[in-house]
């Protein structure tokens, strides 16, 4: 059982849901990334996603794309990201997972990536551009290592295909709340609750919802049907302020924002 499996088993037994923030590695630098992860863990976040910057992300909106561009402009390297996460992971109780393009995994070597990530204390990987038809090899590698492979299901995914994706995933299923790209939104689709309810009847895996979630009202609406909620752009936008404001203030703002969402789960 992976530490992600253990996390969701414990939360389910306690009748609680997971809050899962996303940050971009290396924006504005890896030192601040480490500080943000420790701040979020200290506030009680249950799992943190760390985006590996990529020049051509398939579903990220302008806020996260801009953060990737800033990090890549500073020549952030995968080896340095893993080294930084290897320093953070032993100091927090919050599991870390990477959001990583399949192109990066292929270039690095899937088995090597999983081994090095696991050695750094990372619990799993979200691979947003991994086709289910091409997931067999990576899924087998991850299962042997007890390393969670988290895949995405969208509102436009045909139901038979959604079943295949859930069967090849481990840890949890990432359900994309909206058709389109990441980013803060004032409203979420009317059919979201129905779609997640159907998926829950098909799989025992935890279902975590991401894309567009940014307010306590979103949390109150979705937490009854989800096992976890993922918030990215709203946090990455606050991190971007570290280039103009004192970093201590930015860290406090991020922590207070995370705290406001955590409070909405109760």
DSSP 177: -
Give one DSSP letter per residue of 35-47, joined into a string: HHHHHHHHTT-S-
The answer to whether 31 is a known catalytic residue is: no
H-run or E-run covering 50: strand 48-51
Task: Enter the DSSP assignment of 241.
Answer: G
d(CA 249, CA 245): 7
**Angstrom distance (rounded) from CA 35 to CA 242:** 12
Q: Give the helix, strand, coil percentages of the chain, each rounded to 5.
A: 50, 15, 35
Whether 60 sits among the annotated catalytic residues: the reply is yes
Is 229 strand, coil or helix?
Answer: strand
**Catalytic residue of the set 60, 134, 187, 194:** 60
- Catalytic one of 27, 39, 49, 227: 49
> φ and ψ at 103, to 5 degrees?
-60, -40
Output the CA–CA distances (angstroms, integers) from residue 109 to 6, 106, 114, 139, 192, in the order listed. 28, 5, 9, 14, 36
Please, which residues have CB within 8 angstroms of residue 24's CB and are 6 or more apart in sequence? 33, 50, 51, 53, 64, 67, 68, 71, 236, 239
Q: Give the SS3 label for residue 196.
A: helix
The H or E element that residue 188 is part of is none
Angle at 46 between CA 122 and CA 142, to 5 degrees: 30
Residues with a known catalytic role: 49, 60
């Amino acid at each position: 059982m992976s530490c992600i499996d253990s996390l969701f088993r414990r939360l389910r037994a306690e009748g609680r849901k997971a809050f899962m923030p996303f940050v971009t590695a290396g924006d504005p630098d890896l030192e601040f990334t480490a500080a943000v992860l420790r701040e979020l863990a200290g506030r009680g976040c249950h799992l943190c996603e760390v985006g590996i910057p990529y020049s051509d992300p398939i579903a990220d909106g302008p806020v996260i794309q801009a953060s990737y561009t800033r990090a890549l402009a500073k020549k952030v390297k995968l080896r340095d990201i893993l080294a930084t996460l290897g320093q953070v992971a032993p100091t927090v109780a919050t599991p870390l997972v990477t959001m990583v393009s399949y192109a990066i995994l292929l270039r690095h070597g899937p088995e090597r990536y999983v081994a090095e990530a696991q050695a750094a204390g990372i619990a799993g990987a979200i691979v947003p551009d991994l086709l289910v038809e091409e997931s067999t090899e990576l899924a087998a590698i991850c299962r042997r290592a007890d390393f969670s492979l988290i895949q995405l299901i969208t509102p436009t995914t045909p139901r038979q295909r959604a079943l295949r994706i859930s069967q090849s995933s481990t840890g949890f299923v990432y359900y994309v709340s909206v058709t389109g790209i990441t980013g803060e939104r004032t409203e979420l689709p009317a059919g979201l609750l129905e779609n997640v309810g159907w998926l829950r009847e098909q799989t025992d895996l935890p279902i975590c919802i991401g894309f567009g979630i940014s307010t306590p009202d979103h949390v109150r609406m979705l937490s009854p049907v989800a096992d976890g909620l993922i918030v990215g752009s709203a946090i990455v936008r606050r991190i971007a302020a570290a280039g103009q404001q004192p970093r201590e203030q930015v860290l406090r703002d991020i922590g207070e924002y995370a705290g406001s969402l955590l409070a909405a789960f109760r």
